[in-house]
Amino acid sequence: MSQPTSFSLDQPYTEIIVVRHGETAWNATGRIQGHMDVELDEVGRQQAASLAERLSRVPEISAIYSSDLKRLLKLLRRLLQPRERHLGDVQGLLFREAAKVCPQAYRAFSSRRTDQVIPGGGESSDQLYHRATSSLQRICQRHTGKRVVVVAHGGVIRALYRRACSSRFRGIILNTSVNIFQISGDDVWTIKAWGDIDHLNQTGHSMSGFGVSKTPSAVSPVLT
């Protein structure tokens, strides 16, 4: 595993290490979670332990933020607030059955329109984007020039990628993957590392994710 580079608190940017929660039983079976409060399964607990051990070696972490859902709070306890997108009527359904059970909500959930809300109180991608990015901006303002860990969800991490790269990420957001954002004082976002699962590769713990595997070629997958 690569060793972290030296990090000074007078850096002209805030470094935010964004990690996804560990695997849940619903992740493993392909069930749509959204705001549903699902706990980590045994694999997820092992993944969380591996990630916690890794982050314990990262210097100068000034704060840790987490969603209030159980699958993130369990990881937060291992390590020592943006919630996942609300997915309306498709929450709790298996991906393979959602189109038949709730066709209207599934069409909205699958839509490429970023302003498409989901029936049943679900958010549009744009609503999630503004909620997630504004939360990260507030964290940066509280911790200017420092290093912070944010434990989040796949949908939130996708929104943050969209803010940094001005495009939608269509690949996997793996459980407990490490994604490092650097945000300057004038609100310029840069991705330093993306989709890093070195801690899982070394332990042999299984990996699961959300989407189709793809890593941006311009982004280093290594936590430095």
**Strand-pair category, 147-152 with 61-66:** parallel
Task: Find out if CATH 3.40.50.1240 is the number for domain 1-83+124-224.
Answer: yes
35, 53, 84, 97: which is the annotated catalytic residue? 84
Q: Which of 19-28, 92-101, 143-152, 177-186 has the lowest mean pLDDT?
A: 19-28
Q: Does 105 belong to an annotated binding site?
A: no
How much is the average pLDDT of 11-32? 83
Q: Where are the alpha helices (DSSP H) in the chain?
A: 25-29, 42-55, 70-79, 95-101, 103-110, 125-142, 154-165, 198-203
pLDDT value of position 87: 92
Q: What is the pTM of this model?
A: 0.75
Q: What are the extents of the domains in the chain?
A: 1-83+124-224, 87-122
Q: Does 27 belong to an annotated binding site?
A: yes
Residue corresponding to tokens 């303002």? 141
Burial of 3 (0-12, 13-18, 19+ CB in 10 A): exposed
Query: Quick check: is 84 catalytic?
Result: yes
pLDDT value of position 82: 52
pLDDT value of position 30: 75
Query: Quick check: is 97 catalytic?
Result: no
Residue 29 identity: T
Q: Does 35 belong to an annotated binding site?
A: no
pLDDT value of position 2: 35
Q: Are 122 and 108 in contact (CB under 8 A)?
A: yes
